[in-house]
Chain A
């Protein structure tokens, strides 16, 4: 029986190739999108599962409240670790204090590389269940002067040779012995960028006096802390137990509260708002999941519409089959197996498309997803996916067709009633509404990006490069370095600072005092140390007062505020005001326009700038306008080679770093854009099919009308008008939905584009235009047929 069904299905496909093509194209495009999104979601939800203790690993987070607003961050103090071990030993299997992930220079002989690594306490390899290729997890980080390398770093340093026991030099100062090699941590882990792990004790030993103090300072929030809970321990409960540990041990007025953030939430629930875990990337899982389902639905709708539109052709068969003994369920089965056949063909093409587009998709989505050919569950999921799609696409036509009454269709009195086309119209409206929403959404995303890219950033990014000062060699010859750089003729200026212009490394100042400050006011400021040339190098804009100057010796206790700081401090005329910060008193000498150092979508943080030649993390160099970058960089590199011979010359263009802040948005925009284009394509295929069907169905009517004197134009209008009406209704429904949705999406940005009405007009116009083009082909084809011909075929 089933074979008989498939035979008919196959012959039907074969006979009406155009319909088959439309159905299969739409379905395979929809399925390919659904599969890509499915793979992406799979990757997202299995993030960090590489680590065996995934369920028990937590990060210890700290909340601090300023001005009634609670922020949640990862920075915690060192003494916390020992305290947790001694007082909550039954809850924690291990507590691992860790540095931030840092760029380091690592050298094996003359082979010098810049690589990201982290310094962690000895239990880290066990906790993260690193797969050791050399050495042992337990002992690898026990000695101070050791280091664990990732397989790829070991390969780059030593070729294929075993690395254990070899000596490498870190940051041009410390010789350390390789104690083991671990398999690279996969891309979908929070620790995937670690090229090495070194002992935390080494970090402390090489970081100077500051680090020595930090060991006992409960308020030195400069470290991260991870922990593995004992089995059967409830993270939520432990979180409650330990929340006030810092408060109990120190006098921090920001009301520090601790909480445990479980590993399974790191990726998708990483955002906290006012102390509450509000979600994060999970939004995108839902958003893209929804888009995937909808695009798939669009393909299914084509199938439904074309099948029911052509019902008359199948109705006779239904009647005959019923008369010779087919039960209704068997007919349903038959039509479902037909849709399954189409879906199966579509699936094979979709799989091919997925394979083809996966590299592109990985690139856009910043993923390393591979199709899991060998996995049984993958194939089971695929089978399930086909079944669901087949039923989704096929059940409506199947029930519609199998419900025909035999005698009506056999006597030829079967005529689609006035409302038979209604569901089809509704489905077309759904298709275009979805497409229009996707298009408007995409346009607004890109508009938000463009709008923000044009935002004034308070300085000039042109020609700025940032060089990290991660070796001791770069310190102590500021003037000579500056002179040599300028002597190349390529460099306009150079400065050092504690943060690059595209990041804010340090905050503080909640205890600063100034005239008119209310006692209970606690404001957190961005805190930047820089050299005299900083302002001139980056081209900041002085709003009041003056820049730092070497002509004033007193500038060592001078302070420059950004405009936001002046505003929040409530200083009408800040220049000349005295500010008490700890033991020091500073005088405000100037106010600069807000520099956009962090998210370009957020308002700038109130920030203070002070002179300090010792607290420098980066060098910023401005290349002279009009100079060729390549040539300039060669010259600059040569200068750095002189002062910092032990390190490769590393630099970043501030422009590019700033651009990276738009990556997440651009990624969403690109993906949404592709899906929107596919959606509109699939929908157009659908109405193309429907239009050709209507034209075919009304061929006699058209013939009669033409005989009665209708012009080609009026017939074209007659046939196209119906579809235009539907698309217009779809637009009317989609526009408010898109407006509402995008309004909501924009809420997450403090700096956001207004939603312009012309976007809606343009999208609506485009949708109507495309529809008209697609439909006109069929309409005109039908309109120019010689009426005598079409009438005689009856």
Chain B
């Protein structure tokens, strides 16, 4: 489903450049549940951003379902963001001006889902995350962990084919973290959603099928 060939990424720093990812080759099959691990600053988020089409690699090829992403136009990428990819950010990134309910609803709006279905889907997700009581609050009225839950809810509500989650449980109590992991596992097993998560926790990683170790921009 996802194939990276000789991907590298560097940022210009001063007069030189700072290599973050070095010649990464990676293949992830449909239906896999993969955990990416590695020390801080090793390039995990960068890799995930590239997978999520939020950032362009400096060189190398990225194939999404056999199609070369480098060649895709903006429209096609938008289509993938709408239908295929759900992204959970390390820093939650909710829209401050929208309520919990509206934040979760937004991806469905972009997918042009009719009103009634939208309502039931959002209600469903809220229910699943135990957030019905909080649905009319704004992000700044929530704790960090609650915001993270909303971010995850937003990523799964549109039923994407791949969920890319950057430390989805970093701010959660281990019990809550387990619930999320079980949810991911459930989505992965019953709905056949491919899941790629970045995590620092061995326990969380254990929920997946395989672990990718990244160190100094290289896959071990």
A325 to B81, CA, bound (A): 4
A328 to B49, CA, bound (A): 19
| Residues of A contacting B5 in the complex (Cβ-Cβ under 8 angstroms) | none
Q: Is the CB of A324 within 8 A of B54?
A: no
| Residues of B contacting A411 in the complex (Cβ-Cβ under 8 angstroms) | 45
A 400-433 contacts with B by CB, 8 A:
406-407, 410-412
Q: 11 A-B Cβ contacts within 8 A?
A: A4-B102, A321-B110, A323-B89, A324-B81, A325-B78, A325-B81, A325-B110, A326-B110, A327-B74, A410-B89, A410-B91
| Residues of A contacting B100 in the complex (Cβ-Cβ under 8 angstroms) | none
Q: Is the CB of A8 within 8 A of B52?
A: no
Tell me if A319 counts as interface (CB < 8 A to partner B). Answer: yes
Given A324-B154, A407-B54, A410-B54, verify A8-B81 contact (CB < 8 Å). Answer: no
Nearest 7 A-B pairs (CB), nearest first? Answer: A325-B82, A325-B110, A325-B81, A407-B54, A327-B78, A407-B55, A11-B97
Distance of A404 from chain B, by nearest CB (Å)? 12
B 57-95 contacts with A by CB, 8 A:
74-75, 78, 81-83, 87, 89, 91, 93-95
Q: Is the CB of B49 within 8 A of A4?
A: no
A 479-512 contacts with B by CB, 8 A:
none
**CB nearest neighbor in A for B151:** A320
Distance of B69 from chain A, by nearest CB (Å)? 14
| Residues of B contacting A622 in the complex (Cβ-Cβ under 8 angstroms) | none
A330 to B93, CA, bound (A): 19
Given A1-B109, A326-B110, verify A319-B81 contact (CB < 8 Å). Answer: no
Tell me if A322 counts as interface (CB < 8 A to partner B). Answer: yes
| Residues of B contacting A320 in the complex (Cβ-Cβ under 8 angstroms) | 93-95
Tell me if A610 counts as interface (CB < 8 A to partner B). Answer: no
| Residues of A contacting B97 in the complex (Cβ-Cβ under 8 angstroms) | 7-8, 11-12, 15, 317
Q: Is the CB of A316 within 8 A of B93?
A: yes
| Residues of B contacting A325 in the complex (Cβ-Cβ under 8 angstroms) | 78, 81-83, 107, 110-111, 158
Q: Is the CB of A319 within 8 A of B78?
A: no
**CB nearest neighbor in B for A324:** B107
A759 to B106, CA, bound (A): 58
| Residues of B contacting A322 in the complex (Cβ-Cβ under 8 angstroms) | 78, 81
Tell me if B136 counts as interface (CB < 8 A to partner A). Answer: no
Q: Is the CB of A317 within 8 A of B96?
A: yes
- The secondary-structure label for the interface of chain A is helix
Tell me if B187 counts as interface (CB < 8 A to partner A). Answer: no
A328 to B98, CA, bound (A): 20
A12 to B97, CA, bound (A): 7
Distance of B37 from chain A, by nearest CB (Å)? 20
Contact digits for A1-30, partner B, Cβ 8 Å, 1 yes 0 no: 100100110011001000000000000000
Interface centre among A12, A323, A407 (most CB of B within 10 A): A323
A687 to B109, CA, bound (A): 38
Q: Is the CB of B102 within 8 A of A323?
A: no
Interface centre among A4, A330, A407 (most CB of B within 10 A): A407
Q: Is the CB of A324 within 8 A of B94?
A: no
A11 to B138, CA, bound (A): 11
Q: Is the CB of B55 within 8 A of A319?
A: no
Q: Is the CB of B106 within 8 A of A323?
A: no
Given A12-B97, A316-B93, verify A321-B106 contact (CB < 8 Å). Answer: yes
A328 to B73, CA, bound (A): 12
**CB nearest neighbor in B for A5:** B109
Taking a contact as CB atoms closer than 8 A, the residue among A4, A8, A15, A323 that contacts B87 in the complex is: A323
Q: Contacts A323-B89, A328-B78, A406-B54 given; 4 further ones with Cβ under 8 A?
A: A320-B95, A324-B87, A328-B74, A410-B91
| Residues of B contacting A11 in the complex (Cβ-Cβ under 8 angstroms) | 97
Distance of A661 from chain B, by nearest CB (Å)? 60
| Residues of B contacting A327 in the complex (Cβ-Cβ under 8 angstroms) | 74-75, 78, 110
A406 to B52, CA, bound (A): 11
| Residues of A contacting B109 in the complex (Cβ-Cβ under 8 angstroms) | 1, 4
| Residues of B contacting A406 in the complex (Cβ-Cβ under 8 angstroms) | 54
Taking a contact as CB atoms closer than 8 A, the residue among B45, B55, B96, B106 that contacts A324 in the complex is: B106
A321 to B78, CA, bound (A): 10
A322 to B93, CA, bound (A): 12
Q: Is the CB of A4 within 8 A of B81?
A: no
| Residues of A contacting B102 in the complex (Cβ-Cβ under 8 angstroms) | 4, 7
| Residues of A contacting B87 in the complex (Cβ-Cβ under 8 angstroms) | 323-324
| Residues of A contacting B54 in the complex (Cβ-Cβ under 8 angstroms) | 323, 406-407, 410
A716 to B158, CA, bound (A): 52
Given A324-B106, A324-B110, verify A319-B98 contact (CB < 8 Å). Answer: no
| Residues of A contacting B98 in the complex (Cβ-Cβ under 8 angstroms) | 4, 7-8
